[in-house]
Structures are given as structure tokens and as C-alpha cells.
Amino acid sequence: MHTQHTLRTSAFKQVDVFTSNPMYGNALAVIFDCEGLSTQDMQRIASWTNLSETTFVLPPTSPDADYRVRIFTPRSELPFAGHPSVGTAHALIESERIAVKSKLVQECAAGLLPVEVAGEGLEQRIFVRAPKATMRAAERDVTAELTKALGAAPSLPPTIVNNGPDWLLVDLGSENVVRTLKPDMTAIAALSEIAIGVAVFGRAKNADYALAVRAFAPADGVPEDPVTGSANAAIGAFLLANGALKAVGANYRASQGREIGRDGYVDVRVEETTGEVWIGGQSVTCVDGLLALPHA
């Protein structure tokens, strides 16, 4: 016997972030009107959408915030992530749920984060300030382990950078090394006790972007992420800390996703005096509708 239930629904958008070309960026599910959902409901929905992240929009608890968002991967809740922050602001503005202002404040588990909106329409770019990055060496020397897992040697000592999640950052020198990597995902997953994932980058020559980036988080259910805001913000902080920012500039663009059939671009702004990093880009809505919610 199936009990008859009245379906509960929420407004829903699936947004492609860090692109203006549908299906070429990083997909994000944005769910509105989430007041009645439990944490377990949210995790179930995020597991079901099976996207790298799903966000749940709630009324802010702080009078200084314009909206509140909770961010989930298929397996866990994140304090902060870049592409969900940019994509959620896009969805809220597009649906006219918040007034369009050049400066907004997002409330998330990592705290209150400023958001900037520049331009309009498909040219609109949304920037979020990432939580302040902290850096540390890995608890053990992972250089040999990483070199074997990636099939390429780091040109600077691998560093763990935390700006919400912990990223193990690996400077591989050149774009060509990054593009041609064939990483061993099992070996990368084995490093997950020290970081959510491994992000690699290399410098581009004669391109309209400064860095090529790839991010691997197989232990979190995302073998290779299409375009990653938090990892790109972590790289900006890492370049500043290592005296390597001058070569790429304090405002630069990173390319990510081509190896898995995407073509995302992240605009990175590093404030050299404060160490704060802003990441942003364009977004486009691909799906707009209603989501049927799970029964308790």
C-alpha cells in the first residue's frame, strides 16, 4: 500500500557557472524556499541531483545579510564554495528575489561574505570574497606520493590552503603539464585525509588567460571538478604568499574544465595589501522549474 502524499515543491534553477555558454561551465542546483527542509532532506536532495554542489536558499539570520545559503556536495555540507556562491547570487538576482545592487552580503557556514555584481545580462559578472586563506605544510611529506599520483613533479613544495575547504595545491609550472596529466584517482583519493582534494595549476603562454587549473576530489565524489571557485581562490592566495603573483598579475583569469569537455573561466582578484581574494565570473541558467521535495 502506498500512502498518498501531497507533493511539496520548491522553485528550482540549474545554473551553469563560470561560463556564458550553456553546458560549458560547472552546473549548480539552486533550491529556493527551503525553510521546511531538514539537514537530512538537504543532503538527500544534493545526493540525488548528483552535481558537485547544490545550494539551499534560506532567510538570513543576520540583519547584515541579503540572503543565507547552505552548500552541499553529494556527500557532505561545505562551509564555503566559490561556484555555488556565484551561481546562487545569479539565480536570486535573475528571479528578482533580491534587489540588484552592486554590493550584496551572503550568509553561509563560513560567515558573512561580500558579493559584488558588475554589468548586466549575459555580461554580468558576480564576484564573491573567499574566506581568508590559511596555509600550512602537509602533516607528512607528500611530494613523492603526489608526484606518483599525478605523474608530474611539483615546482614548489605542495601546500595545504584552507579557505573553507582544505585544498592541497600543486604548482606544476606550465599549462602543458596540467593539460596532459593522467592522474591516478585512487592514489589521489588516498590523500583525502589531509585535504578535500588536489588542485594543480600551470602558467599559460600566449593565451587570453594566465593559468590553467584542474581540481580533483575523488574522495568527495567528484573525480575531476569542472570549474572550482574555492580552489582558484586558494591558488591566488598561494601565489601571493610565494611571491609568484607578479608574473600573472593581481587581476588574472584562469581556464578550467577543458579536459572533461567544459570550458570555464574564473576571474581572480588578489588584494595584495590585505591578502583577500575575490573570485567571480559569468553564469547562465539552463533549467528553471519546480523541484518535488522528499517526504520526511
Q: Which residues are catalytic?
A: 53
Which grid cell is 67?
Answer: 540572503
Tell me how far apart the alpha carbons of residues 81 and 65 are, in angstroms, rounded to a whole number. 17
Name the one residue in this structure whose C-alpha cell is 573567499. Answer: 130
Q: Please name every residue paired with 56 in a beta bridge, in sequence order, or none if there are none.
A: 31, 70
Measured between alpha carbons, how far apart are the two ends of the chain, in Å?
18
